[in-house]
Structure 1
Amino acid sequence: MNAPRAAVIANPVKVDVPILRAALRTVEQDLGWEPSLLLETTVDEDADVRAREALASDVDLVVAAGGDGTVRLVAGELHGKEVPLGIVPAGTGNLLARNLGIDPTLSLTERLHIAFAGKDRRVDLGRAVVEGPDGTKERFPFAVLAGVGVDAGMIEHTDDKLKARIGWPAYLGGMFRALAGGPTFRARFRVDGGRTYGVRAAGFMVGNCGMLQGGMRLLPDAEIDDGILDTLVLRPSGPLGWLEVFAGIVTGALTRVAPTHIRSRLRGLVRALNYLRSTDVVLRIDSHPEPFEVDGDAVGEIIAAHITVHAGAVTVRVPR
């Protein structure tokens, strides 16, 4: 029987490729794998293109080494395939890895060991079909979160050089710049084909999982393998409203293990936060085009989005 072989898709902006290549040799020898196919992303050939190359090479595993954007694109190409996804987190947020229990602070060799020899877990994948201001439509996969409004504005206004130097705290500057631009917008939305709601909001976020940096849970009930999308609508009123948002998120995280009826009662007291659970979300923005983000990537302004979840779409290697 032939030894298994992996394809490793590396973002050279996030990963030192020579060091990665040396660590790969060690792990391959330890586990009895053939030398991996190492594919670097470029400006013209992003991770999705490399993932298609990897699948055409008939490999047994595809490993994404980079940030959430690299992982997102590779996961999108593995949707519905039998080939598992290994993750070597090397970005600023590494949110999918954190939600799967993969510690980004482990050594490169330890992260590779999980990617190659971890246990398999089926997880959900979100897909967003969005409409731009000119009427064109695009499709984006996401593993963690898709958002309109303040979170997308924060990412759009964050300095990439500062982010590379100090990490996720750089997003705070982007957040303040987004808020200074006037964060509210008018929109209509419906979930699971139900009634349409009108809302004036600062943010509209649809998540597949809910943990952020530092263990904070933005979406307390979100699970990556429950076949459900968790939506959060931010509706703060003035500066005190943002304090209410922060307090509500903290309260939601602390009450996650409480009984359902108690959680619902507590969250109902925080009017600036509205949580919904569904498998299908439709959003139409009535005021003006808003920035849109998927898994930390700003992908432009939109006027509408249709977001769905695909249960058990991807098999991911996680710690044993």
Structure 2
Amino acid sequence: MIFLFAINPVSGGSDKAVWEEGIHNYFANLPHTVHQFYFDGKTDDETLRQQIAQHKPDRVVAVGGDGTIKIVATALLNTGIPLGVLPAGSANGMARELGIPPDVDGSLALLVNGVPKATDILSVNDGDVCLHLSDIGLNAQLVKHYEQNNLRGKFGYLRGVINVLQKRRLLRVSITVGDECVQRAAFMIVLANARMYGTGAVINPDGDPCDGHFEVVIFRRLSFWEILKLFWLYKPFDPKKIEIFPATSVTIETHRRAYFQVDGEYRGRITTLKAVIKPGALLMLVPAA
């Protein structure tokens, strides 16, 4: 087999030497061809497509976190080429979601011995790709604050939570799922194609990125303690304070502009959010059952 490794050298702010050494050692005596290249943060999409066209790999491997996975996944949609993951980033939510081992040896072994699994993605507003979680409202505002202030670590996140909670406001929204339209006041609405955020916070306990649908999770009440429980201690949220609607498509309209994020990346403020599931559009290497 031909493997193409897409390495993000700055993902997670850590040196990738351990992962690169692991790749070299693991494949040294195996009958596989290995190619690798590095993202530069400027021409990643174009470079990745050129590398795929040049080497015609059987498997493409993202070496980094959720952001790196998303870049590679977008290029592999509907190609039939499986995506492998070496979880070398600061946020490895997708790897955790799919049961990919966090260690070097375990995740490398999975590249050879794992099985391709058809995985859903969400197409969000003008073709933006969502692999696991998008939302409007409080968490998206937190993502914006986190990015703007270059915060790091749990205490940086706590500072962000305190700042955002002081400014929190209810959103008045109209949500259309299938033939049903509901009006709600909510602090946050999540489009969940998976169970958890990259931080490990479980937002949708019954989520499954391979089941052909997603969940619309509406947070109608949010106290400071509940936010800390969810995003700091990673404890389950009180199910009495949320509503969950299974969906294959959704349209959400807000009465005022709402903060919006996709897979941990802030996208601005919007008044309309549309999403549709693309079942099995991405093949990902996962442990054999």
TM-score by length of 1: 0.79
How far is the alpha carbon of 1:243 from its aligned partner?
9.0
Corresponding position: 1:115 with 2:111: yes
Q: Structure 2: which amino acid aligns with 1:296?
A: G
Corresponding position: 1:290 with 2:275: no
Counterpart in the other structure of 1:232 = 217
Query: Counterparts of 2:146 and 2:176 in 1: how far apart (Å)?
Result: 31
How far is the alpha carbon of 1:55 from its aligned partner?
2.6
Query: Counterparts of 1:6 and 1:305 in 2: how far apart (Å)?
Result: 37
2:168 to 160, 163, 182: 182
Query: Counterparts of 1:186 and 1:95 in 2: how far apart (Å)?
Result: 30
Counterpart in the other structure of 1:142 = 130
Query: Counterparts of 2:136 and 2:271 in 1: how far apart (Å)?
Result: 10
Percent of residue pairs bearing the same amino acid type:
25
Corresponding position: 1:304 with 2:272: yes
What pairs with 1:1-320 in structure 2 (closer than 5 Å)?
A: 4-14=1-11, 16-36=15-35, 38-46=36-44, 48-57=45-54, 58-104=56-102, 106=103, 108-129=104-125, 138-158=126-146, 161-163=150-152, 166=153, 170-192=156-178, 194-212=179-197, 217-236=202-221, 250=236, 267=239, 270=240, 272-287=241-256, 289-320=257-288
Change (3 A) 1:67 1:245: closer
How far is the alpha carbon of 1:230 from its aligned partner?
0.8
Q: Structure 1: which amino acid aligns with 2:138?
A: V
- Which range moved further: 168-177 or 302-311? 168-177
- Which range moved further: 112-121 or 57-66? 112-121
Change (3 A) 1:221 1:239: same
Query: Counterparts of 1:122 and 1:206 in 2: how far apart (Å)?
Result: 20
Residue segments in structure 2 that go unaligned for 5+ positions in a row: none
Contact 1:119–1:318 at 8 Å: present in 2 too? yes
How far is the alpha carbon of 1:18 from its aligned partner?
4.2
How far is the alpha carbon of 1:16 from its aligned partner?
2.8
How much is the aligned-residue C-alpha RMSD, in angstroms? 2.7
Counterpart in the other structure of 1:258 = none
Query: Counterparts of 1:116 and 1:184 in 2: how far apart (Å)?
Result: 48
Query: Counterparts of 1:146 and 1:238 in 2: how far apart (Å)?
Result: 21
Change (3 A) 1:86 1:242: closer
How far is the alpha carbon of 1:22 from its aligned partner?
2.6
Contact 2:187–2:222 at 8 Å: present in 1 too? no
Contact 2:193–2:215 at 8 Å: present in 1 too? yes
Q: Structure 1: which amino acid aligns with 2:134?
A: A
How far is the alpha carbon of 1:303 from its aligned partner?
2.0
Contact 2:201–2:230 at 8 Å: present in 1 too? no
Contact 1:76–1:142 at 8 Å: present in 2 too? no
Query: Counterparts of 1:146 and 1:111 in 2: how far apart (Å)?
Result: 26
Higher strand proportion: 2
Give the number of equivalent residue pairs: 282
TM-score by length of 2: 0.86
How far is the alpha carbon of 1:279 from its aligned partner?
0.2
